[in-house]
Structure 1
Amino acid sequence: MRLFRGAQDRRHAKALQDQLELIEAGLLENLGFASAVADAPARYLLDAGGKRIRPMLTLLASELGEGPNDLVRQAAQAVEITHLASLYHDDVMDDAKLRRGVPAAQTVWSNSIAILAGDLLFARASTLVSGMGEEAILLQARTFERLCLGQLHETVGPQPGDEPIAHYLQVLADKTGALIACAARMGVMFGRGPIEFADPVMEYGERIGVAFQLIDDVIDLSPKKEQTGKRAGTDLRAGVATLPLLLLRERAAAGNTDDAALLESIDLGVRAIADGADPALLDPEVEALRAHDVTRETEATARRWAEDAVRSLDVLPKSSVKRALERMAESIVSREG
């Protein structure tokens, strides 16, 4: 993710990378457990890598004030550990086979151990935040509540009277956007930035979080397995309601016969796979959905969320930090894996 350009920006990029390395060292230290039974599963997803978007955003937001310091780095670690914890739980609930190109934790150990590893990480994140003041504790608690509500609403699905696409976007805002928003606000808080920047960067964070997940819906259909670490159409084969599928359902319900036929074929294939059929059964439907207008519409929706995120920053003065935040939004919707 190239956020800086030019000689001065390259120096800025080097300083940011140095800070990220300090955070990475802190993550390794904080996810070490004396018990060997706990240590291996708790460090598993950290060792698998990741984009570290949340710590990067915390660091950038801190530069709207006095810049990185011990508390900023501690906040970045707490947010990233919370994110990692949520992945353990998500993979158990989704019965995921892969995460970041490696077998999901519950396939290596068990559902129970993966859940407990996630719980350990949530506890460690809370320990970090506990010494950072009442405002930080409250922010983390409210963010954690939104993570849980997002997962609950995704699991239960839209209720009578709910509009499915609006329901889906709210799930993304809660499950992903809320924690990225928290990362941004903590950067302003502990970087001692102007208080009037706190809400705008939170809005920015939530919106790029939704954009990130919408692009993931597109990437799920990508044939570039070496980039995604997953088989093309993993979510589709598992019956996960991504935006391309929801848009297809909307068009089928409006009377488009071609879309209705594709949707019926997808639904039949998903049921067959759930009953033990070869996942390759859905290869033609995955290809058809990838080429369909609904996938282009999903990309366009992601771009609108990213553009809205950038507009949230209008109150910020022009600076290399603001330009980096704008480029981060663009990078998120331009990625292919």
Structure 2
Amino acid sequence: MSSAVIGRKWHVASVGSFADGALEQRVSDGVTRVEDLLARSVHSPEPLVAEASSHLLQAGGKRFRPLLTLLCAEFGDPAAPQIVPAAVVVELTHLATLYHDDVMDEASMRRGAPSANARWDNSVAILVGDFLFARASSLVADLGPEAVRIQAETFARLVHGQLRETLGPGPDEDRLQHYLSVVADKTGSLIATAARFGAMMSGAGPDVEQTLLEFGERIGIAFQLADDIIDVASDAGDSGKVPGTDLREGVPTLPTLLVQASPVNGDERLRELLAGPIADEDDVQWVIRALREHPAMDEARAYVRAEADAARTLLAKLPEGAARDALDEICTRATDRLG
């Protein structure tokens, strides 16, 4: 599937190619409508709000969540009018969380551009995130009370995940299990809703909706954990992310938590450096090399493959066809990224 088919800001790395031309055309048409509604949704008569709210939208992004909504709608009526607004609701919610995350993380860059809090200030970034949440709420209100309930529950999980990440694990809580629960809430929940909305708005039926809900959560977790591995395993430029970013910021990830959970002889310096942010660049590079050779990396890869395989197993419950094949390809892409 070419980048022209997927749209001017859409990336294909998370999906691969469609073997079915009719599916490709429907997704292409849906992408165009989603992109147009996104642009209209972030508009404001106030110039500062309009500029700041479109800042991350114009910076790009894979738009994986709305694309998943469009694909999951293929199990019902893909022409149903509620599908595109539902896809936009999910993407607006995702964008809003990015504005807020960058404030909490004191991030200066997002998607290769200055973050909103760096370009303006924290207050502007927080309020623009709130504005995007409001626009998502306005759209979802037209989709019915069940959609509103799902959006509210998803929002609660997003906030719950962020709070748990901010507070950290309790004194008697397993750090790895705490982290996995954060990933499920912060990442898996919204991707699950993206898939669920596609089935729900297309009238695919409750069994398909439940299957795609579970699929979305599993594959969302798999992609996030794959990103953890890529932060260590990729070379500069391969992933669009500078290797060791999480190490510099002291962000817990699957590989680092596995090292700390199951230390082996000779890990003393590695575990000491992983205890917090790593300021010295020589230390960052040493840790990257040590992690790449550590058994924890293979263990982390196996964990991601298990999540992707669990997602793929769920697909067996769905009707055969091009849409199921496309979702299967997403599972493959999740593990292909591991190197």
Same fold per superposition (TM over 0.5) = yes
With over 3 angstroms needed to count, the CA separation of the structure-2 counterparts of 1:280 and 1:33, relative to structure 1, is: farther
Matches within 5 A, 1:132-211: 132-211=143-222
Mean alpha-carbon deviation: is it higher for 125-134 or for 153-162? 153-162
Measure, in 2, the Cα distance between the counterparts of 1:336 and 1:110: 36
Amino acid across the alignment from 2:319: P
Alpha-carbon distance in 1 for matches of 2:95, 2:82? 20
1:335 & 1:55 partners in 2: Cα distance?
21
Look up the match of 1:318.
320
Query: Residues 188 and 197 of structure 1 are in contact (CA less than 8 Å); yes or no, is this contact kept in structure 2?
Result: yes
Tell me the equivalent position of 2:9: none
Tell me which residue corresponds to 1:233: 244
Name the SS of the counterpart of 2:243 in structure 1: coil
Q: CA deviation at 1:279?
A: 4.1
Give, in angstroms, the shift of residue 246 of structure 1: 0.4
User: By how many angstroms is 1:226 displaced?
Assistant: 2.5
Tell me which amino acid in the other structure corresponds to 2:333: S
Which residue of the partner structure matches residue 28 of structure 1? 39
What fraction of aligned residue pairs are identical, expressed as a percent? 43
Equivalent residue of 1:160, what SS?
Answer: coil
Pairing of 1:103-118 with structure 2 (within 5 A): 103-118=114-129
Q: What is the CA-CA distance between 1:37 and the residue it aligns to?
A: 1.4
Question: Alignment RMSD, CA only?
Answer: 1.8
> In the alignment, is the contact (CA less than 8 A) between 1:78 and 1:126 conserved in 2?
yes
CA contact (8 A) 2:77 2:203 kept: yes
Matches within 5 A, 1:1-337: 1=12, 2-6=15-19, 9-252=20-263, 256-267=264-275, 270=277, 273=279, 278-335=280-337
Q: After alignment, is 299-308 or 11-20 more displaced? A: 11-20
User: Contact 1:146–1:175 at 8 Å: present in 2 too?
Assistant: yes
CA–CA separation in structure 1 for the residues paired with 2:130 and 2:85: 19
Compute the displacement of 1:281 (Å): 4.1
Amino acid at match of 2:270: L
Moved more, 317-326 or 225-234: 225-234
Range with bigger deviation, 316-325 or 142-151: 316-325
Q: Is the 8 A contact 2:256 2:274 kept in 1?
A: no
Shift of 1:285: 1.3
Distance 2:194 2:164 in 1: 23
The answer on whether the counterparts of 1:4 and 1:12 sit within 8 Å (CA) in structure 2 is no
Q: Which is further off, 65-74 or 136-145?
A: 65-74
- Shift, 1:231, TM fit: 2.2
Distance, in Å, in 2 between the alignment partners of 1:279 and 1:113 is 32
CA distance in 2, matches of 1:70, 1:214: 34
Distance 1:231 1:5, change over 3 A: closer
Q: Secondary structure at the match of 1:161?
A: coil
What are the superposed Cα offsets for residues 206-231 of structure 1, whole Å, 9 maximum, x if unpaired?
A: 00110011011012124533243332
CA deviation after TM superposition for structure 1 residue 291, in Å = 3.2
TM norm structure 1: 0.92
Moved more, 257-266 or 213-222: 257-266
Match for residue 8 of structure 2? Answer: none
Contact 1:4–1:10 at 8 Å: present in 2 too?
no
The alignment's TM-score, normalised by the length of structure 2, stands at 0.91
- 1-structure distance, mates of 2:202, 2:155: 22
User: Which shows bigger deviation, 9-18 or 186-195?
Assistant: 9-18
Distance 1:84 1:211 in 2: 20
Deviation at 1:197, TM superposition (A): 0.8
Query: Greater CA deviation, 221-230 or 31-40?
Result: 221-230
Deviation for aligned residue 1:287? 2.4
One-letter code aligned to 2:255 = P
Aligned partner of 2:3 in structure 1 is none
Please give the alpha-carbon distance, in whole angstroms, between the structure 1 residues aligned to 2:338 and 2:99.
24
| Aligned counterparts of 2:281 and 2:193: Cα–Cα separation in 1 | 38
Distance 1:113 1:129 in 2: 24
8 Å Cα contact 2:162-2:186 kept in structure 1: yes
Pick the structure with more helix per residue: 1
Q: Which amino acid aligns with 1:260?
A: E
1:98, 1:229 within 8 Å by CA — same for their partners in 2?
no
